[in-house]
């Protein structure tokens, strides 16, 4: 059985490590905000468990992305986009533009995780096809 030892491009490593560093920082920030009294979803609306689950899934997806980039990026990206859509469609609750901007900024690690996962798969397939 042949083994393929491939040298990954440096830009791929940069994407991987920048997504990991940003994701850990954002996860720490989100878990900290979740524990403070003003930003805690339990104190804002204690009956809405779906919003609370989304707020917990975002940093959890970041941390899963440290292990499995594709899965973690997908979990956190879907959670953030679902939260943004639900907050936009809520009647009677209007949030400022900056709140949505911060939520969009939280998509950066998810997108970087998915980019790394895609390009890593692509380089592996190219390496296998050149050997055959």
Residue with tokens 């030892």: 5
The pLDDT, as a whole number, for residue 1 is: 46
What's the residue count for the chain? 132
Has residue 84 been placed in a domain?
A: yes
Has residue 4 been placed in a domain?
A: no
| Count of beta carbons in the 10 Å neighbourhood of residue 104 | 12
Q: Where are the alpha helices (DSSP H) in the chain?
A: 10-35, 41-44, 49-65, 69-89, 97-105, 108-131
Angstrom distance (rounded) from CA 102 to CA 122:
31
Has residue 31 been placed in a domain?
A: yes
Range of the domain at 30: 10-36+52-125
Has residue 5 been placed in a domain?
A: no
**Cα distances (angstroms) measured from residue 30 to each of 55, 71, 86, 103, 121:** 8, 19, 19, 11, 30
Longest dimension (CA), the chain: 63
- Number of domains into which the chain is organized: 1
Has residue 41 been placed in a domain?
A: no
Residue with tokens 């940069």: 14
Which of 16, 113, 121 is CA-nearest to residue 65?
Answer: 113
Cβ distance 82 to 106 under 8 Å? no
Tokens, residue 69: 């980039």
pLDDT in tens, the chain (132 residues): 455 566 778 989 899 999 999 999 999 988 887 777 665 555 556 567 787 888 889 999 999 999 999 999 999 999 999 988 888 887 666 777 788 888 899 999 999 999 999 999 998 888 888 876
Whether this prediction's pTM lies above 0.85 is answered by no
């Amino acid at each position: 059985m042949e083994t393929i030892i491939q040298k990954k491009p440096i830009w791929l490593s940069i994407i991987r490590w920048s997504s990991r560093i940003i994701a850990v920082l954002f996860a720490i920030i989100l878990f900290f905000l979740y524990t403070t009294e003003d930003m805690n979803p339990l104190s804002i609306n204690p009956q809405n468990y779906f919003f609370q689950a989304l707020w917990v899934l975002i940093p959890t997806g970041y941390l899963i992305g440290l292990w499995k980039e594709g899965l973690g990026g997908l979990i956190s990206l879907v959670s953030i986009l679902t939260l943004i859509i639900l907050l936009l469609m809520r009647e009677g609750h209007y949030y400022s533009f900056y709140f949505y901007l911060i939520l969009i900024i939280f998509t950066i690690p998810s997108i970087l995780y998915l980019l790394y996962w895609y390009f890593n798969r692509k380089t592996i397939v190219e390496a296998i096809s050149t050997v055959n």
